[in-house]
Structure formats: structure tokens, C-alpha cells
């Protein structure tokens, strides 16, 4: 990983840890120039998102023990054997009424050659919102933390299974159980936003080699921040660039018990030239609320993009809010078919088309689309509006499935 990226990530984590002032001038980060403020985790457990302005950060009391850095997917970084000499200060847990189990402050000076590029936590202050299991947790389950989802110290969203002797048992992005020492529980979520693809799965490749997974994440983060500004607690299924299985995205959304799940994508195949954007939103069959969510997302995004001049759009003839069925009559996309949460999957436009792709690489694009998405989601939550009606005829599509290897993601 290039130095600048590491530094940006470190800043991301520092801001995550210490507050917005920690790294202000570095907040134009690897989200390619989007003036973002890295994610913060606030004391009420909400998953704060990077904001689009540099000065309006609320003065939250930030958790202090989230000090670690990038969520490295360790499979490919074995060559980077930089020696990381760290002094990890484990903070004392002050909330524990019993003293027999918790150790006191321990200082663990380690001088090791790390097999990965993981940078270890350096200094920590008193943790305010991370939770270690209490004695009650260990004996009776997760009594002090009831949140079904949480964020790990590396900023990885996970489902919480329960407390163990060694910490928390959580489901990682592959759906496998891992144990972590600390989590930040997310107590309430109204909206789950799923940035499509990530890690080894880049999705469509657009202008200048820009990955769809990155554009999806930028739009998701900006949308999440706008919703948060409106007082709508949101949760992202991924917050950085790593692989997460489809089933775990679905499980995260359902576990969060949100009112809506929106999966954000940008289309790959070339399509016919069009005077209008080719925005497509896929609804779950037989779910009128999914149809309504899809219709609102389509209306707001399509109308916002229509205002943009100078972009040569492409579109399929049946673009709109629609159902996509396989030849057995089920929803073709698992991410639309399986969630119990009311959901919609949006293909905002054609990232792989040269003109659209160049536009989608800009900050302006991210802001326009994020605002439209946030408006649609808020409208869905607060009104009975329908937006664009669903196409009467469903599209027929049979995806070619197949198992993929899910690389393990370090959680802390
Ligand atoms: Zn996609």
C-alpha cells in the first residue's frame, strides 16, 4: 500500500478515534477527492459517517480505543514485512464492578516483524463506548450489549453472536465466527446502505480505471452522512475496501432490523445511447414497500441526473423501477430476493460508459446522487409516496452463480 494511502487510513482511524480535528487537512482521502471526514463512532453507538463539509462536525465524545488502522485483507500483503515496533496500551475497563476478572492496565511492548502491513494501535485514551464483556455477559450472554450489530476496532461492521471468555464472538464479512476483544455496538438503525462489491470484487471498471466498488462506497458514505444529518441513523455493510459475501450483507441488514436496505451499484455493460439516464432500481417481488422504495429511489435519482448537462447517457429500453426475475419466476438477484428487510438495489448509471464514467469519477456526481438518494430514503420513511411506478413487465435474467473464495478480513 502506498505511503499516502496508509497515512490517509491512519488519519481515518485517528479521526475515528480522537475526533474530527485530528487529521483535518487529510480528510480529502482515497475516496478520490471527496471532501470527506472519516467515520466517527459516537458515544451513543451510532455509526457516524464522513461528512461532506469540513467544518460542521458535531462535538461528540469519541471513543478512544478505536485506534487501529486499516482493515487489511491479509491474503495479498505478505511481502510487506515492515517492522512495526509498537507499544500497545490496553486501557483499563473502568465500568466493571468486579475486579477479579479484568486485568489492570498492561503495557505490551512488542517488537516484531509483522507478516502483514497492519499497523498496530499506538496510544489510547480511556474508552467510552467500546465494550468488553462483563462477568454477567460471560455467564448469561450479551446482557450489557444487546446490539445485534457492531463495529470492530478496525471499522469493520459485524454481527454480534455473544460474549466469550476472550471477548466478543462476531460474524466476520465472510460469515465466519471470530473473537474480538472490543466492539462498538450499534444500538439502533433505520437504514442500512450496502455499497456493492469491494476487495477482490471490484465490479465494473470505469473512467481511468476507477472501480465500481469505490464509486459505490463514496456514494454510500455521502448518502449515509446526509441521512445522519437529517437524524436518520444509518449503518453501512462495509466501510472500506474489502470483500464481503452477499449472504453476510443480507444477514447484517436483517440483523440490524432496519426499515430499509439500499444496495448501491453502477452498471457495467455498454448500452444504447439515450437522451435520459439509464437508472435502474430493482424491487423485491410481491413487496409493495420494496416497490415504493424502488420507485422513490428511481424518481429522485433519475430527476437529479436529468438536470446534469454534457453527459452522454446510455440506457436499456426497460430502465426504471422494475422486477428482475429468473426463469423460475424468482427475483434474479439474491440481494433483492433474500433480505427480510424492505430493500431495493439501484444501478445508478453506466459506470463503464466513457462519458458517464468520467462524470461518475467527480465529486459533483457523488454529491448529486447522494442528495437524491437521501431525499428518496427520507421520503420513503416519512410519507406514503410511491415515486416512479414499477414497470408492469418484469425483466428476465438468469445470473450465472458460483462459489467465490472469501478472504478473511482482520477485525482488530
Ligand atoms: Zn455492481
CATH code (residue 256): 3.40.630.40
Cα of 201 to ligand 1 centre, how many Å? 9
Check residue 75 and report its DSSP letter: G
**Ranges of H-type helices in 271-399:** 288-306, 334-337, 354-360, 363-382
* Strand, coil or helix: 394: coil
Judge whether 167 lies within some domain: no
Asked if the structure places residue 146 within a domain, the reply is: no
Q: Who surrounds ion ligand 1 at CB < 5 A? A: 196, 203, 265
Residue 139 covered by a domain: no
Model pLDDT, residue 271: 77
- Is 148 part of any domain? no
**Residue span of the structural domain in which 16 resides:** 3-72
Distance 380 CA to ligand 1 centre (A): 23
Q: Show which of 16, 39, 72 is a domain's final residue.
A: 72
The tally of domains found in the chain comes to: 2
Supply the pLDDT for residue 147.
85
Is 234 within a domain?
A: yes
Is residue 241 located within the same domain as residue 382?
yes
Q: What's residue 362's pLDDT?
A: 96
Tell me whether residue 24 is in a domain.
yes
Q: What is the pLDDT of residues 67-118, one digit of tens each?
A: 333 333 333 333 333 333 333 333 333 333 333 333 333 333 333 333 332 3
Instruction: Select from 46, 72, 98 the last residue of a domain.
Output: 72
CA 203–ligand 1 middle distance (angstroms): 5
CB atoms within 10 A of CB 163: 25
pLDDT of residue 144: 54
Distance CA 282, CA 297 (A): 10
Q: Are residues 67 and 196 in the same domain?
A: no
Bridge partners (DSSP) listed for residue 260: 191
Report, as ranges of residue numbers, the positions in the chain whose pLDDT lies below 70. 1-146
pLDDT computed for residue 11 by the predictor: 41
How remote is the CA of residue 181 from the centroid of ligand 1, in Å?
A: 34
Would 411 be classed as within a structural domain?
A: no
| pLDDT for 361 | 94
* Centre of ligand 1 from the C-alpha of residue 379, in Å: 25
Structural domain contains residue 175: no
Q: How many angstroms separate the alpha carbon of residue 267 from the centre of ligand 1? A: 6
pLDDT at 326: 96
Distance CA 206, CA 204 (A): 6
Distance from the CA of 345 to the center of ligand 1, in angstroms?
A: 9
What pLDDT, on a 0 to 100 scale, did the predictor assign at position 208? 84
Give how far the C-alpha of residue 277 lies from the chain's centroid of Cα atoms, to the nearest Å.
Answer: 25
Cα(46) to ligand 1 centroid in Å equals 27
Query: 141-148, long-range: CB within 8 Å, 24+ apart, which pairs?
Result: 142/168, 145/183, 145/185, 146/185, 146/187, 147/45, 147/185, 147/186, 147/187, 148/255, 148/256, 148/257
Amino acid at each position: 500500500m502506498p505511503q499516502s494511502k496508509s497515512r490517509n487510513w491512519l488519519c481515518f482511524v485517528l479521526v475515528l478515534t480522537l475526533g474530527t480535528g485530528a487529521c483535518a487537512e487529510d480528510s480529502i482521502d482515497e475516496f478520490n477527492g471527496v471532501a470527506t471526514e472519516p467515520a466517527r463512532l459516537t458515544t451513543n453507538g451510532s455509526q457516524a459517517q464522513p461528512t461532506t463539509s469540513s467544518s460542521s462536525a458535531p462535538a461528540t465524545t469519541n471513543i478512544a480505543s478505536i485506534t487501529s488502522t486499516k482493515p487489511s485483507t491479509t491474503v495479498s500483503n505478505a511481502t510487506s514485512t515492515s517492522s512495526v515496533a509498537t507499544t500497545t496500551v490496553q486501557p483499563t475497563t473502568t465500568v466493571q464492578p468486579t475486579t477479579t476478572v479484568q486485568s489492570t492496565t498492561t503495557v505490551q511492548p512488542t517488537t516484531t516483524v509483522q507478516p502483514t502491513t497492519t499497523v498496530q494501535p499506538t496510544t489510547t485514551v480511556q474508552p467510552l463506548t467500546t465494550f468488553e464483556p462483563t462477568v454477567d455477559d460471560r455467564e448469561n450472554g450479551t446482557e450489557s450489549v444487546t446490539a445485534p450489530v457492531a463495529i470492530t476496532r478496525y471499522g469493520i461492521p459485524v454481527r454480534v453472536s455473544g460474549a466469550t471468555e476472550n471477548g466478543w464472538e462476531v460474524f466476520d464479512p465472510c460469515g465466519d465466527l471470530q473473537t474480538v476483544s472490543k466492539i462498538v455496538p450499534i444500538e439502533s438503525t433505520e437504514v442500512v446502505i450496502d455499497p456493492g462489491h469491494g476487495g477482490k470484487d471490484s465490479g465494473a471498471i470505469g473512467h481511468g480505471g476507477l472501480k465500481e466498488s469505490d464509486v459505490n462506497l463514496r456514494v454510500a458514505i455521502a448518502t449515509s452522512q446526509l441521512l445522519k444529518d437529517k437524524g436518520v441513523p444509518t449503518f453501512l455493510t462495509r466501510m472500506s475496501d474489502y470483500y464481503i459475501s452477499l449472504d453476510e450483507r443480507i444477514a447484517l441488514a436483517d440483523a440490524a432490523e432496519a426499515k430499509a436496505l439500499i444496495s448501491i451499484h453502477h452498471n457495467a455493460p455498454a448500452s444504447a445511447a439515450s437522451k435520459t439516464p439509464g437508472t435502474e432500481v430493482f424491487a423485491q417481488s410481491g413487496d409493495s414497500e420494496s416497490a415504493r422504495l424502488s420507485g422513490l429511489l428511481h424518481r429522485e435519482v433519475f430527476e437529479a441526473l436529468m438536470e446534469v448537462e454534457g453527459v452522454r447517457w446510455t440506457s436499456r429500453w426497460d430502465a426504471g423501477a422494475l422486477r428482475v426475475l429468473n426463469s423460475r419466476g424468482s427475483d434474479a438477484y439474491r440481494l433483492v430476493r433474500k433480505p427480510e428487510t424492505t430493500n431495493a438495489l439501484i444501478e445508478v448509471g453506466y459506470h463503464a460508459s466513457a462519458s458517464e464514467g468520467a462524470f461518475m469519477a467527480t465529486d459533483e456526481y457523488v454529491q448529486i446522487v447522494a442528495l437524491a438518494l437521501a431525499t428518496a430514503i427520507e421520503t420513503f420513511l416519512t410519507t406514503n409516496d410511491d415515486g416512479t411506478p414499477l414497470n408492469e413487465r418484469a425483466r428476465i435474467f438468469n445470473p450465472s452463480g458460483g462459489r467465490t473464495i472469501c478472504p478473511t478480513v482482520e477485525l482488530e
